[in-house]
Amino acid sequence: MSDLHAAGTGAPFAARILTLSVGTVGELPYKGRTIRSAFAKKPVGTRIEATKDGLAGDEQGDRVKHGGPDKAVCVFPAEHYPHYERLLGRPLARPAFGENLTTSGLDEHEVCIGDVFRVGDAVLQVTLPRNPCYRLAARYGVRELPLWFERSGRTGFYLRVLQEGRIGAGDRLEPVERPHPRATVAEANRLMHHDKRDLPAIRVILVPELGQNWRRTFERRLSGTIEDPSRRRYGPAAPLS
pLDDT at 73 over 90: yes
Helix (H, G, I), strand (E, B) or coil at 162: strand
Phi and psi at residue 159, to the nearest 5° = -125, 145
* Three-state SS annotation for 197-234: CCHHHHHHHCCCCCCHHHHHHHHHHHCCCCCCCHHHHH
What is the separation of C-alpha 116 from the centre of its chain, rounded to a whole number of angstroms? 15
Mean pLDDT for all residues in the chain: 91
Q: What is the pLDDT of residues 85-111, one digit of tens each?
A: 999 999 999 999 999 999 999 999 999
Q: What is the pLDDT of residues 224-234, one digit of tens each?
A: 999 999 999 99
What is the pLDDT, as a whole number, of residue 6?
A: 43
User: Which run of H or of E encompasses 86?
Assistant: helix 81-88
Tell me the domains of the chain and their CATH numbers. 16-234 (2.40.33.20)
Query: What's the pTM?
Result: 0.92
